[in-house]
């Protein structure tokens, strides 16, 4: 077959699947999207992409797609699809031995670099045949390059599948890309802006939605992403022609809330990320931790029932539930002695294969929670978190300053924790551009490290008041705290996102600050027309440019489980009241370390 004929065949296959077969592939994802489950969307696509037949397969993925596969599929699941080998398409170290018994499936993002890597594979083909699957819309130029590389006409299928994201939770995702850049800089490469817009457009197809788009006007970076997204949607109107279904895509900037990433978290998933670090839902403890697995532990609600039920539990409830989990394991093993230790359990378990899964999970969670407990004690995080929450919930500058000084005078205080306290105190009490009391402590960390204070205020906005980041104070606030149970004193802080969502769901989010790119009608919100300030969506997908925290992911979970807002808050919500839904995404899931690293990228003005 000639190159031109091959190209025509590719084009027909690709565009045919966009309208037909891809619609079928999308149907699985669309069914899943009704459950608002990002794992199910990826499952729907890949189950169709990799049929469960008896053929032996190899899966080649580019470096952008590899984390998505790692998060969504275990090795056992891939084996059920006949996938015996997963390799990086971009790796130069791959073996070139012929393996004609294998069918090759290439999964790649629609970038020229990945297409070039796929072309190199086709020119030196070592597998029986090839199926090329793009995680998004492929251009004619990309098809042309593939056609020219397929000298032996081995490509049997070209498809677009729209799973260009990594599932973190059922209702949280990331768009894999390099570390978030300084969002106050105009020098962010256009290709990174394009990548975010392409990922969001791909999600619209995956969810079979074209939501109304609202964006944070005060952020130049968000405006760039919004403009690029509109350009993509206009480039292929038929591909993105789906109803809005009372949904909104809300584009926000991380700089709108620089406080939340600085706080000590107290829910399980957030603590894991803060004190150890989660990457593609995998956690690796320091090598010197007794009992730690060298390859790390997977923490995903998709395949860990205990984690699913406890990922948003606070520290106290988590410890109690881990103890119950250990007791459950003892009962399953008929080991009823109250003096039985974890080491005895592990030794006994090794001789009972049928209990290996249960005991493995128990060992994982007890090992990790034991490590977290040691970190809390070593760094005195309970007392430190109490000061953080007091600075958020009350205004007492002299008391807070003396307590901060006490922490600074202790040799045991970790520099990273002292840095966080200084940044929070600066946001709470000090004016931008003026002399800062906390500079003396930041200088201990690193020479000129106090420059981060200026970067923090520049990132947030020099002229923006910081009062909105903290709880209401004053006489009435004191009275309310006396009369109303504030709950756990370590979790009094509420992200700015909660207030933003409440205003959005109730139709009160200021349109001047968060304008529409797509205009809902005042009646049904199902098409064009004049903007309605009172438009109340039922579904909201938040995209946080710069990354989101697991505290904000926990808020999204609370929205979906109808526990985020008080009953009187939802009286003005969309039809269905508490039936509103939400999801969240960003370039990364942030902890305090990665957020401060992000601040350091800010170019001082």
Burial environment of residue 379 by CB neighbours within 10 A (0 to 12, 13 to 18, 19 or more): middle
Round the average pLDDT of the chain to a whole number and report it. 83
Q: How many whole angstroms separate alpha carbon 231 and alpha carbon 106? A: 28
Considering 325, 347, 379, which residue would you say is the last residue of a domain? 379
Instruction: Using a pLDDT cut of 90, give the percent of the chain over it.
Output: 51
pLDDT of residue 114: 92
542 vs 185, 198, 252, 301, 531, CA distance in Å?
A: 22, 16, 7, 21, 20
Question: Are both 103 and 120 inside the same structural domain?
Answer: yes
Residue 411 gets which letter from DSSP? T
pLDDT band at 419 (very low <50, low <70, confident <90, very high): very high
Question: Are both 342 and 316 inside the same structural domain?
Answer: yes
pLDDT band at 15 (very low <50, low <70, confident <90, very high): very low
pLDDT band at 76 (very low <50, low <70, confident <90, very high): confident
User: How large is the angle between the packed helices 451-460 and 592-600, nearest 10 degrees?
Assistant: 90
Mean of the pLDDT values across residues 426-452? 82
pLDDT of residue 88: 87
Question: Are both 372 and 410 inside the same structural domain?
Answer: no
Considering 379, 412, 432, which residue would you say is the last residue of a domain? 379
pLDDT of residue 115: 94
pLDDT of residue 92: 61
Question: Are both 392 and 419 inside the same structural domain?
Answer: yes
Question: Are both 156 and 141 inside the same structural domain?
Answer: yes
pLDDT band at 57 (very low <50, low <70, confident <90, very high): very high
pLDDT of residue 289: 86
pLDDT: is 10 or 318 the higher one? 318
Question: Are both 567 and 447 inside the same structural domain?
Answer: no
Largest CA distance in the chain: 82
The answer to whether position 26 is within a domain reads no
Determine which helix (DSSP H) or strand (DSSP E) holds 134, and give its type and residue range. Answer: strand 127-134
pLDDT of residue 448: 65
The answer to whether position 263 is within a domain reads no
Residue 592 has pLDDT above 50, yes or no: yes
Number of domains in the chain: 4
Question: Are both 204 and 280 inside the same structural domain?
Answer: no
Residue 582 has which token pair? 């939400």
**Which range in 47-51, 148-152, 175-179, 448-452 is most confidently predicted, on average pLDDT?**
148-152
Residue 13 has pLDDT above 90, yes or no: no
pLDDT of residue 527: 42
pLDDT of residue 201: 94
The answer to whether position 562 is within a domain reads yes
Domain boundaries, position 458: 388-469
Mean of the pLDDT values across residues 273-298? 89
pLDDT: is 342 or 579 the higher one? 579
The domain spanning residue 375 has which CATH number?
A: 3.90.830.10
pLDDT of residue 338: 61
pLDDT: is 264 or 484 the higher one? 264
The domain spanning residue 243 has which CATH number?
A: 3.40.50.1910
Q: Is residue 491 a contact partner of residue 550, using CB atoms and an 8 Å limit?
A: no
How far, rounded to the nearest angstrom, does the alpha carbon of residue 80 sit from its chain's CA centroid? 27
Question: Are both 525 and 557 inside the same structural domain?
Answer: yes
3-class state of residue 209 by DSSP = coil
Question: Are both 356 and 465 inside the same structural domain?
Answer: no
Residue 518 has which token pair? 């797509």
Mean of the pLDDT values across residues 107-129? 92
Residue 350 has pLDDT above 70, yes or no: no
pLDDT of residue 183: 58
Mean of the pLDDT values across residues 122-142? 92
The domain spanning residue 125 has which CATH number?
A: 3.40.50.2060
pLDDT band at 24 (very low <50, low <70, confident <90, very high): very low
pTM: 0.87
Residue 28 has pLDDT above 50, yes or no: no
Q: Is residue 131 a contact partner of residue 50, using CB atoms and an 8 Å limit?
A: no
Residue 586 has pLDDT above 90, yes or no: yes
The answer to whether position 482 is within a domain reads no
Residue 9 has pLDDT above 60, yes or no: no
Considering 379, 411, 438, which residue would you say is the last residue of a domain? 379
pLDDT band at 447 (very low <50, low <70, confident <90, very high): low
Instruction: Using a pLDDT cut of 70, give the percent of the chain over it.
Output: 80
Question: Are both 133 and 106 inside the same structural domain?
Answer: yes
Residue 68 gets which letter from DSSP? H
Question: Are both 145 and 175 inside the same structural domain?
Answer: no
pLDDT of residue 156: 92
Rg (CA), the chain: 26
Residue 567 has pLDDT above 70, yes or no: no
pLDDT: is 402 or 292 the higher one? 402
Closest by alpha carbon to 520, among 509, 530, 510? 530
User: How large is the angle between the packed helices 356-378 and 315-332, nearest 10 degrees?
Assistant: 150
DSSP lists the bridge partners of residue 87 as: 60
């Amino acid at each position: 077959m000639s190159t031109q004929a091959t190209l025509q065949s590719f084009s027909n296959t690709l565009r045919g699947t966009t309208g037909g077969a891809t619609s079928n592939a999308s149907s699985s994802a669309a069914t899943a999207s009704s459950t608002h489950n990002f794992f199910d969307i990826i499952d729907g696509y890949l189950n169709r992409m990799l049929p469960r037949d008896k053929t032996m397969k190899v899966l080649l993925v580019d470096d952008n797609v590899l984390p998505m596969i790692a998060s969504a599929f275990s090795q056992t699941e891939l084996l059920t699809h006949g996938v015996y080998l997963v390799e990086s398409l971009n790796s130069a170290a791959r073996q070139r031995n012929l393996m004609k018994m294998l069918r090759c499936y290439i999964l790649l993002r629609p970038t020229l670099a990945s297409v070039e890597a796929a072309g190199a594979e086709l020119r030196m083909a070592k597998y029986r045949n090839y199926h090329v699957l793009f995680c998004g819309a492929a251009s004619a130029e990309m098809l042309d390059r593939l056609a020219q590389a397929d000298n032996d006409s081995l490509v049997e299928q070209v498809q677009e599948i729209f799973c260009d994201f990594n599932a973190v939770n059922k209702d949280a995702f990331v768009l894999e890309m390099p570390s978030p850049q300084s969002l106050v800089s105009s020098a962010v490469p256009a290709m990174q802006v394009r990548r975010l817009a392409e990922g969001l457009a791909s999600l619209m197809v995956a969810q079979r939605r074209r939501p109304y788009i609202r964006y944070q006007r005060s952020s130049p970076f968000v405006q760039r992403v919004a403009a690029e997204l509109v350009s993509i949607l206009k480039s292929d109107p038929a591909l993105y022609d789906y109803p809005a279904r009372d949904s909104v895509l809300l584009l926000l900037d991380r700089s709108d809330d620089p406080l939340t990433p600085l706080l000590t978290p107290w829910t399980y998933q957030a603590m894991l990320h803060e004190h150890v670090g989660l990457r593609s839902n995998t956690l690796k403890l320091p090598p010197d931790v007794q009992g730690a697995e060298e390859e790390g532990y997977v923490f995903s609600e998709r395949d860990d029932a205990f984690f699913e039920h406890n990922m948003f539990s606070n520290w106290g409830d988590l410890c109690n539930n881990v103890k119950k989990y250990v007791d459950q394991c003892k009962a399953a093993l008929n080991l009823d002695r109250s003096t039985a230790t974890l080491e005895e359990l592990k030794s006994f378990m090794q001789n009972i294969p049928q209990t290996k899964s249960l005991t493995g999970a128990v060992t994982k969670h007890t090992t990790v929670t034991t490590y977290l407990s040691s970190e809390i004690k070593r760094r005195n995080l309970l007392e430190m978190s109490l000061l953080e929450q007091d600075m958020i919930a009350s205004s007492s500058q002299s008391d807070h300053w003396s307590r901060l000084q006490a922490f600074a005078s202790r040799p045991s205080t970790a520099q990273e924790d002292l840095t966080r306290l200084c940044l929070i105190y600066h946001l709470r009490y000090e004016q931008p551009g003026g002399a800062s009391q906390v500079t003396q402590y930041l200088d201990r960390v690193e020479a000129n490290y106090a420059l981060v204070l200026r970067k923090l205020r520049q990132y947030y906005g020099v002229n923006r008041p910081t009062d909105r980041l903290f709880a209401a104070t004053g006489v009435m606030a004191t009275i309310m705290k006396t009369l109303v149970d504030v709950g756990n004193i370590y979790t009094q802080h509420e992200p700015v996102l909660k207030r933003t969502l409440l205003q959005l769901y109730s139709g009160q989010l200021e349109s001047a600050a968060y304008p529409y790119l797509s205009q809902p009608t005042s009646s049904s919100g199902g098409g064009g027309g004049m903007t309605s300030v009172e438009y109340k969506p039922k579904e909201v997908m938040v995209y946080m440019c710069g990354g989101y925290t697991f505290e904000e992911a926990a808020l999204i979970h609370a929205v979906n489980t109808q526990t985020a807002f008080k009953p009187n808050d939802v009286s003005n919500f969309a039809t269905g009241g508490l039936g509103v839904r939400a999801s969240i995404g960003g370039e990364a899931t942030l902890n305090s370390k990665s957020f401060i690293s992000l601040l350091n990228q800010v170019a001082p003005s």
